[in-house]
Structure 1
Amino acid sequence: MPDSTGRPGRPFNEHRRTVEGIIYRYRAGIPWRDLAEHFGPWQSVWKRHRRFSADGTWDTILGVLLSQADARELINWEMSVDSTINRAHQHGTNITRHTGGPSNHKNLLIEPVDHALGRSRGGLSTKIHALVDGNRRPLVLLLGPGQAGDAPMFENLMNAIRVEKLGPGAARTRPMRAMADKAYSSKAIRKYLRDRGIQCVIPEKDDQKANRKRKGSAGGRPVSYDKKAYRRRHVVECSFNSLKQWRSLATRYDKLAVAYRAAVVMHAVMVWSGALSQ
C-alpha cells in the first residue's frame, strides 16, 4: 500500500490474524505488549483496533449481521434493557477527563470529554447500557459513567434500534415489547413507549405507588404490566454474564471510551456470528 509520498509501504497484516489477536487480548485480559508473536507486532494489532474503533467498522459489521439475522427471523423482537457497572483499572483511568461535559450518544465515534468514567461506590467505573432481544443477543450497546442513572439512557437505546432490510423495505426500529426493571419506571418512559405503540413491561417503584395512593383519585390509575412476560427480562442479565467472560470487558483497561465500546460491540459481533453459523 502506498504511503503519503506515493512510495510503496509495508503491507497490512492479514485481517483475520489481527482480529484474532484483538479478540484474544480482550478475552484473556492481558496487556497489548504481551500478545503472542504469531498475531504479529502488538503495535499493529492495537492500531488496527484503534482504527476500527474510530471509523465504526465494528458497528458496520454488527449492522450487516443484524440484517442477515432479521432476514432469517433469528431476532426476537421482545427487547430487554438494563445496565451493568464495570470497574475501571488504574491503567485505564490515568487520563485527563472533564466531568459534566456533553454526551456523545448522537455520535458514538467521538470520544466523550469524561471518557465514560465516573466515580461510584466501587471507585472509577463505566456503565454498559444494553438492549438485547428475547434470545439474549445484544442489538444496541452504549456507554456511560458509572454513577449515572439508567432511566436517562432508555430513549437513547430505543432510538438507536435500526435493523436494515436486505431487500426493499424500511428498516425496523421498534420492538413489539420493551421490558426493564424498576429503575426505568417513569411517566416519561411510559409515555414514550405508548406514543410509539410499544408494549411497556416495567413494574412501578414502591415510592411511586405510595405517592399515587396518597393523591387518591388525582394520582391516576395503577400501573399494569404483563407479569408473565416480565419473568423473561432476565435475558439481559444472561447477556451480561456472557459479555463478562471476556476479562478486558469485565474490567476496563482501555483509556478511551471509543476503544472500549468497540470491544463490547465486537463481542456482540461474535455472538451474532455464532447464531448465524448454526
Structure 2
Amino acid sequence: MADVVDRFEVLTDKQWELLELLLPSSDGLRGRKFRNNRVVVEGMLYRLRTGLPWRDLPSHFGPWKTVWKRHRRYAGDGTWDRVLTALVAMADAGGNLDWAVSVDSTVVRVHQHGANAARTQGDLPNCTNLRDEPADHGIGRSRGGLTSKAHLACDGHGRPLSVLVGPGQAGDSPMFAHVLEGICVPRLAGGAHRTRPDEVRADKAYSSRANRELLRNRGIKAVIPEKTDQAANRVNKGRSGGRPPNFDPESYKGRNVVERAFNKAKQWRAVATRYDKLALTYRAGFLLAGIVEWLKLLGDMP
C-alpha cells in the first residue's frame, strides 16, 4: 500500500522544507508538537487529488481524523491564508509576481455528501473575517442543481492571490470588490502592504459603473470590455451618455490566465467537485491547490 500511495505524494523535499517553515509546529493550545506533519499534509493533498471521503484515507497517512482535524484547524485559524500570503510576498520580493491581475469565477457542482448541512440565505462574505462560516455555506440552487461559485484573483502568470467562495447562483459583479480586498501582499523589505495591482483584467460580467469607479478611485487601470447593451444605451443618450470607457484589447488578451488557473485547480477532484459541507474547508482546499502552484515556483529555486 505504501508503494502505491507514494506515487501520489505531491511535494518534493525542497518544497516541503519551505512549507514546513510556514506551518505551525504545535497545536498552540497545550504546546504539543505536531508529529508526522509532512505525512498529514500529504494526506490532505491525497484527499484533495482523489476526492475520496476523509474516513477512507489510506492508513499510510495515519488516523483519518488527525488529517481532517488539522485541515479543519488550518482552514479555521487562517493558517492556509497566511501560508499563501507568505509565498506571494516571497515571489513579489524576488520579482516573480506579475501585478496585471485577472479576476473571474467558476461554478462547482456540490456533491450530495456536501449538501446535507442546514442552510439559510446568507449575505456577501465579510472579507475582513474569512473565518466565519456563511449561513448558506456558500451553496445555492440554480438550473444545474446545488452549486457553489469560486471567485479568484490571480497574477499575470495565473497563480492565485485571493479566493472567495459563494453560492452558485450569485452574480460575479457584486463580488468584484470583495475579491480585490483579499489582495494584500506584505513587503519583505519593509513598508506598507501592497494592495493595489497595476491593472485588473475581467470579462463583461464585471462591466459596471461601480466597479469602474472603484478601480479609478484606487488608481488601477481597468481592462474590462463594455457590455453591448451598455454601449447602446450610452450612444442613445448622445452627449449626455459620455465617452466610452478606456479599453486595452492587447492587455485583455492576457485575461485567459485566470481560465487556465481554474483548469489547473480543477485537476484536483475535491476542487472540481465540492464534497465539503463547510465553505471554509472547501475554500481551504482551493487555497492548498494554489499553495502547491506557488511551491512549484519557489520551493525548487536555488
Q: How many residues in Structure 1 have an aligned counterpart in Structure 2?
A: 275
Q: 1:102 to 1:74 in 2, by over 3 A?
A: closer
Which of 91, 96, 102 pairs up with 1:69?
91
Three-state SS of the structure 1 residue aligned to 2:197 is coil
Is 219-228 or 125-134 further displaced after alignment? 219-228
CA distance in 1, matches of 2:233, 2:172: 21
Task: Choose the corresponding residue for 1:14, options 36, 56, 60.
Answer: 36
Corresponding residue number in structure 1 for 2:154? 132
Structure 2 CA distance for partners of 1:264 and 1:199, relative to 1, 3 Å: same
After superposition, the Cα gap between the structure-2 partners of 1:101 and 1:224, relative to the gap in structure 1 and judged at 3 Å, is closer
Q: Give the deviation of 1:12 after TM superposition.
A: 4.0
Q: Which residue matches 2:73?
A: 51
- The alpha-carbon distance between structure 1 residues 12 and 176, as it changes in their structure 2 partners (threshold 3 A), is closer
**Alpha-carbon distance in 2 for matches of 1:109, 1:79:** 25
Q: 1:185-196, aligned counterparts within 5 Å?
A: 185-196=207-218
Structure 2: gaps of 5 or more residues: 1-25
Return the offset for 1:39: 0.2
- Larger deviation: 134-143 or 103-112? 103-112
What is the 5 A alignment of 1:179-190? 179-190=201-212
**Unmatched segments (≥5 aa) in structure 1:** none
Tell me the CA shift for residue 101 of structure 1: 4.3
Task: Give the aligned residue type for 1:34.
Answer: D
Letter in 1 for 2:87: L
**d(CA) in 2 for partners of 1:38 and 1:13?**
14
Tell whether 2:48 aligns with 1:38: no
Quote the residue 1:154 is aligned against: 176
Give the structure 1 partner of residue 274 of structure 2: 252
- Matching residue of 1:228: 250
Match of 2:105 in 1: 83
Quote the Cα distance in structure 2 between the aligned partners of 1:189 and 1:110.
Answer: 26
1:122 matches 2:144 = yes
Is residue 53 of structure 2 the alignment partner of residue 28 of structure 1?
no
Which deviates the most, 158-167 or 109-118?
Answer: 158-167
Match of 1:165 in 2: 187
Identity of aligned residues (%): 53
| Residues in 2 aligned to 1:108 and 1:15: alpha-carbon distance in whole angstroms | 25
User: 98, 109, 116: which is aligned to 2:120?
Assistant: 98
Question: Which residue of structure 2 lines up, in the alignment, with residue 143 of structure 1?
Answer: 165
Are residue 215 (structure 1) and residue 248 (structure 2) matched? no
Q: Deviations for 1:206-254, whole angstroms, at most 9, x for unmatched residues?
A: 1111111111111111223000110110000000000000001100000
Greater Cα shift, 157-166 or 143-152:
157-166
TM-score for the superposition, normalised by structure 2:
0.87
